[in-house]
Structure 1
Amino acid sequence: MGIDRFLGKVDGERFILSDEEFHHAKVKRVKKNQHIEINDLKGNIYLGIVEDIGKKYIKGRILEKLSAEEDEFYLELFLGMPNRLSKVDELIEPISQLGVSCFIPVITKNTAVKGKDILKKIPKWEKIALNSIKQCKRLFPIEIKKPVHIKDIKTDSEKRIVFYEREKEFSLKKEKISKIKTVSIFIGAEGGITEDEIRLLKEKGFKSASLGRYTLKMEIAVITGICQVNFVYR
């Protein structure tokens, strides 16, 4: 069984957990003299021992700095926004575990929600992303950007893939497995991607790819697409 990891402040040889991390530690039944890991969100992971449990904090001593290395692979996810934004709530944790670096909500022709509604959700998504790195042991949470219209998408990634339900010729199964440092993928939501949008994305350097013979729900398409990209390019 692994050692629990928390997000905390480190000052020299001391650490402190407060606010939500304190409550998380209480839920995990952290006790005095227990070893825990601390992520300081500055790229460092420490092994510490709990020495003091107060009413609003947990304090302890740093035992050692642990080896910590962030994945160099940069995966950017452009996602057409669904009509129910709560669907995205459920996606943030799994895409974090699968190594997505940056998440960009996209307003497409079939997007019914407004940009201001998406903006209101971002703090919640950031909180989910922050909490998820404790479980999957990432150093930093996914970067969540403000929504963009599909025509305003910009990316410098080496490889750009749009998963498109009408693509019949190309899939990542035909790609040679190769290490690439930066990949961007685009996945549409309900109603799919229009032909005009596909043309626009191709002008921006995206190559259309199939996810298979079946039409997938957005949530399944996201997971499937990320897994394929990780297998071929990571």
Structure 2
Amino acid sequence: MHLFFPSEKRKQFFLISGEEHRHLRVKRIHIGEEIGVIFEEKIYRCVLREKKRDFSLAEILEVIEPRQPQPDLTLYQSLTHHIATVDFIVQKSVELGVLRFVPLLTERSFRNLSAIERRIQRWKKIIREAMKQCGRAYPMELTAPVELSNLEPVHELNLLLDSFYEGVYVKDLNLEGVKDVAVVVGPEGGFTEKEAELLREKGFLSVKLKPHILRTETAAVVAAGIIMNLAGS
């Protein structure tokens, strides 16, 4: 079932217009066919009743309230110098159920703030498209960039992904009953020794993946996937 974001809700109908309406026309969905609509963190099963040049109307058949995965996972992702790589991480984070995505500025990360701001607008679009692709009803929060020096262990479990430190393996974590997790992922080349030590002194727990040292985009996705699955989501 194809999913769309509506322009507005009108009693038992959704109005679909603009870019979403263009997508509906491209997919050649006909009157009488069922579609899904994402609205206010719910998915509505609908049937297409009208299809005009500039808008469509879909009638609500059923409301589906998907269960939000646990734990609440915040991903602090260092920005790679090839900034387009982060597009992939954002997309997969949505699919995996990450609740919050925080771009992280480190000594070795990409730091052009004007370029990052432009990229954030692209990431917002990627989040919407990924929600439609994977059937996710609630949005992933995307924050402004944060300096690593300002990070504090404010979550129930605060993890530092560091392949160069003798930490525990992510797969061996006991997440029973844990509802709020953060994982900090470094850039190409990893964190500097000073950065990693700073976070450990603040209370972040060093963890690693095995058997090999992974690229930052791979590490972020693998770590998030393991954490969500260990928690039973």
TM range (shorter): over 0.9
1:202 aligned partner, one-letter code: R
Q: Give the deviation of 1:177 after TM superposition.
A: 4.8
Contact kept, 8 Å, 2:42 with 2:138, in 1: the verdict is no
Going from structure 1 to structure 2, the CA distance change for 1:17 and 1:128 (only over 3 Å counts) comes to same
Are the structure 2 counterparts of residues 21 and 105 from structure 1 closer, same or farther at C-alpha, using a change threshold of 3 Å?
same
Distance 1:220 1:121 in 2: 20
- Aligned: 1:223 with 2:221: yes
State the secondary structure of the residue aligned to 1:16.
strand
Q: Which residue of 1 aligns with 2:116?
A: 118
Return closer, same or farther for 1:174/1:33 CA change in 2, 3 Å cut-off: closer
CA shift for structure 1 position 156 = 2.2
Instruction: Decide which of 154, 158, 183 is 1:156's aligned counterpart.
Output: 154
2:31 match: 32
Provide the residue aligned with 1:102 in structure 2.
100
CA distance in 2, matches of 1:112, 1:44: 36
Distance 1:111 1:68 in 2: 36
The one-letter amino acid of 2:113's match is G
Query: For residues 94 and 55 of structure 1, what CA distance do their matches in structure 2 show?
Result: 34
Give the SS at the match of 2:85: helix
Work out the CA distance in 2 between the residues paired with 1:100 and 1:169. 23
Question: Residue 188 of structure 2 corresponds to which residue in structure 1?
Answer: 190
Determine the C-alpha separation between the residues in 2 that align with 1:24 and 1:35: 15
Identity %: 26
Checking the alignment, whether the CA contact within 8 Å between 1:92 and 1:125 is kept in structure 2 is: yes
Shift of 1:16: 1.2
- Write the mapping of 1:3-152 to structure 2, written as runs, cut at 5 A: 3-8=1-6, 9-40=8-39, 42-152=40-150
For residue 171 of structure 1, what is the aligned residue in structure 2?
169
User: Residues 103, 27 of structure 1: CA spacing in aligned structure 2 closer, same or farther, 3 A cutoff?
Assistant: same
**How many angstroms apart in 2 are the aligned matches of 1:130 and 1:7?**
8
Which residue number in structure 1 is paired with residue 208 of structure 2?
Answer: 210
1:30-78, Cα deviation, whole Å (9 max, x unpaired): 11111111111x1232221111111111113222323433335310000
TM-score normalised according to structure 1 size: 0.92
2:60 partner SS: strand
Q: 1:178 to 1:128 in 2, by over 3 A?
A: same
Distance 1:67 1:227, change over 3 A: closer
* Larger CA deviation: 13-22 vs 62-71: 62-71
Structure 2 residue runs without a partner (length 5+):
none
Match of 2:197 in 1: 199
Where 1:223 maps in the other structure, the secondary structure is: helix
The RMSD of aligned alpha carbons is 1.7
Pick closer, same or farther for the CA change 1:28–1:136 going to 2, 3 Å: same
Give the letter aligned to residue 230 of structure 1: M
How has the CA–CA distance of structure 1 residues 108 and 127 changed in structure 2, closer, same or farther, with 3 Å as cutoff? same
| 113-122 or 168-177: bigger deviation | 168-177
Q: Tell me which stretches of 4 or more aligned residues in structure 1 moved more than 3 Å.
A: none
Structure 1 position 155, deviation (Å): 4.8
Q: Do the aligned residues in 2 keep the contact of 1:172 with 1:232 (CA within 8 Å)?
A: no
Separation (CA, whole Å) in 2 of partners of 1:158 and 1:6? 35
TM-score of the two chains, using structure 2 as the length reference: 0.92
